Chain A
Amino acid sequence: GLRFASTTVSLKTETEVDTSENEVVAPDFTNRNPRNLEQLALARKERGWKTTWPKRDFWHRLRLERTQHYVEAFVERCNGEVVVSASTREWAIKRHLYSPKGVAACKNLGRVMAQRCLEAGINFVNFKAIIPWEHCCDSIQEFEKAMEEGGVVLREPRRLYQ
């Protein structure tokens, strides 16, 4: 980076010299933000893997894991890296719940997860990684309703191809 050591130059000539150089702009612009393309719906989704389940054509996927003792929710990318997570194992959530498993836990986990997703800037999530015959059970329905009410859309926008 360039450093400017402040010298005793009159303010008027400084501002003239300063802003005249602003006009010089490089013709190619590179945006290093890794989230830029997916927020503009221009990034590639992994369209292969069509003979396996779950498929990997998403930017962010919401995965709900219900074990015998806890309920955990993860938002991850297609390469498996977890971005946002919430679980009833965390003290912040566990202390307010009677039991860390069950429908009430799933519902409250959904509310907390929706808040954390919005804070991290994740507004669209893919929620297809649930087993179809488990999808109609109470806890997952309550979790989905809580996420929708929290403001997260459970459907990723289609990629822009033209």
Chain B
Amino acid sequence: MAAPLLSAALRGTRRGRSFGTAAVLWKRAAPLGPMPNEDVDVSNLEALEKYRSFTRYFRLAEQERRKPCWWNTYHKHTNPAAEPQTDISLPRERLSRTKEVKERKRILRENRRNAEMERAARLQTVLIPLDDVRAEWEKTSGPFHKQRVAEHCGVFRDLFRGATFTPWVALRVQYSQEDEHLVPVYHGNMVTPSEASNPPAVSYEADKGSLWTLLLTNPDGHLRDADSEYLHWLVTNIPGNDIRSGKEMCHYLPPFPARGTGYHRFIFLLFKQLCPIDFSQDARPTPCHSLKMRTFSTFDFYRKHEDAMTPAGLAFFQCQWDSSVTSTFHQLLNMREPVFEFVRPPVYHPPQVKFPRHQPLRYLDRYRDTEEPTYGIY
């Protein structure tokens, strides 16, 4: 295999035309790692354990596909290896696992002895209480799942420039409507701007005497600069659970995602303070409807106060344009409403060649400067 390639390469260089084969193949060398299926002994096929079913093979194949390999793959090309990220979450004391594990094993053993549960499982009538499951999930694996979803929505990449945190404190945010209907905010659900026009009811578990800061930002909606965010709500030095007794540095502004821009993320951040902090630099005047003053950067804000506060809670929602946004622009912000249109990136065509091979006549249409396609479907 290598010999014809070498002669082709030499002929190519003599003619003076460049060619594009992978540079690695120009000489024979040992592979840079173990080849797949090297460890399988092919000499005695009858002695090998067979798969006997597609399911077993498929599960093993999927596991092997996910393992890292030494050759270049499309996956490595599209997902560059992430650098190790700094963790800025609240420190948590590790409870003794042995007691917890013992308690859980006891409960499982009781479940096994329960004849009612066995009958319900056998007849497939079991319906587990979803509220209890959610409450337990919030205590155990909730923070990790929320961190994963937030990572996915690019929250840490845009707000903290890569530093991640695990939201140990469960933040419950609910927007109440006129007809006593409650719209909750979880990690990424859709809320319309008309539903979010009034400040929400925020609740979380807090010890007496602890101080918290609540922040609502929109990293996507900035109309002038793509890298900064808009501050919608900032309440500081909240004693315990009570939002109303905290000092409101920036009053609540309802979300205003512009028309045509799609879905914007609105992120609630809850910081735990070690001591009362002076936020006078971040104070905005009470009716603050200036977008210039609402321009904000969470990274700089956190960097300024990072010694005294740590992020503890996270909740975010996705918001799209709605007719109430028009009234927000006209009445509150006193400006004309901006309307945007989605512009598709231009279609890619490889560089034009003088004698194209196996191309239809419309090949010429692709490279003409004017818009009229003269060859139609030919």
Closest to A112 in B: B133
Which of B107, B114, B187, B334 sits near A19, CB closer than 8 Å? Answer: B334
Which of B125, B288, B295 sits near A1, CB closer than 8 Å? Answer: B295
Known A14-B285, A95-B107; contact A36-B186, beta-carbon cutoff 8 A? no
B 128-160 contacts with A by CB, 8 A: 128-130, 132-134, 136-137, 140-141, 145, 148-149, 152-154, 158
A26–B225 contact, CB under 8 A? yes
Complex interface: chain B residues within 8 A of A42 (CB): 342
- Least CB distance from B137 to A in Å reads 4
A81–B134 contact, CB under 8 A? no
A 68-102 contacts with B by CB, 8 A: 77, 79-85, 90-99, 102
A24–B224 contact, CB under 8 A? yes
A83–B148 contact, CB under 8 A? yes
Q: Please report the C-alpha to C-alpha distance between residue A129 and residue B317 in the assembled complex, in whole angstroms.
A: 29
B66 within 8 A of A: yes
Complex interface: chain A residues within 8 A of B54 (CB): 131
User: Considering only CB atoms and an 8 Å cut-off, how many residues of chain B contact the other chain?
Assistant: 85
Closest to A139 in B: B124
A84–B262 contact, CB under 8 A? no
B136–A30 contact, CB under 8 A? no
A4–B284 contact, CB under 8 A? yes
B6 within 8 A of A: no
A148 within 8 A of B: no
Q: Please report the C-alpha to C-alpha distance between residue A104 and residue B55 in the assembled complex, in whole angstroms.
A: 21
A103 within 8 A of B: yes
User: Considering only CB atoms and an 8 Å cut-off, how many residues of chain A contact the other chain?
Assistant: 67
A107–B124 contact, CB under 8 A? yes
Complex interface: chain A residues within 8 A of B288 (CB): 18
- Least CB distance from B113 to A in Å reads 10
Please encode chain A, from 9 to 27, with 1 for each CB lying within 8 Å of some chain B CB and 0 for all others.
0010011011101111110
Complex interface: chain A residues within 8 A of B292 (CB): 2, 4, 18, 21-22
B27 within 8 A of A: no
Known A2-B292, A39-B262, A108-B128; contact A25-B137, beta-carbon cutoff 8 A? no
Complex interface: chain B residues within 8 A of A2 (CB): 228, 292-293, 295
- Least CB distance from A128 to B in Å reads 14
Please encode chain B, from 99 to 125, with 1 for each CB lying within 8 Å of some chain A CB and 0 for all others.
000001001100110100110110011
Known A18-B293, A35-B318; contact A25-B224, beta-carbon cutoff 8 A? yes
A5 within 8 A of B: yes
Q: Please report the C-alpha to C-alpha distance between residue A103 and residue B145 in the assembled complex, in whole angstroms.
A: 25
Known A2-B295, A32-B158, A131-B54; contact A22-B333, beta-carbon cutoff 8 A? yes
Which of B145, B229, B289 sits near A116, CB closer than 8 Å? Answer: B145
Complex interface: chain B residues within 8 A of A24 (CB): 224
- Least CB distance from A100 to B in Å reads 9
In this complex, which of A2, A22, A37 has the most chain B Cβ atoms within 10 angstroms of its Cβ? A22
B262–A96 contact, CB under 8 A? no
A92–B280 contact, CB under 8 A? no
B37 within 8 A of A: no
B21 within 8 A of A: no
B 255-308 contacts with A by CB, 8 A: 258, 261-265, 280-285, 287-293, 295-297, 300-301
| Those 8 A-B pairs whose CB atoms lie nearest each other, nearest first | A18-B290, A1-B297, A121-B188, A92-B136, A119-B186, A98-B121, A96-B128, A19-B334
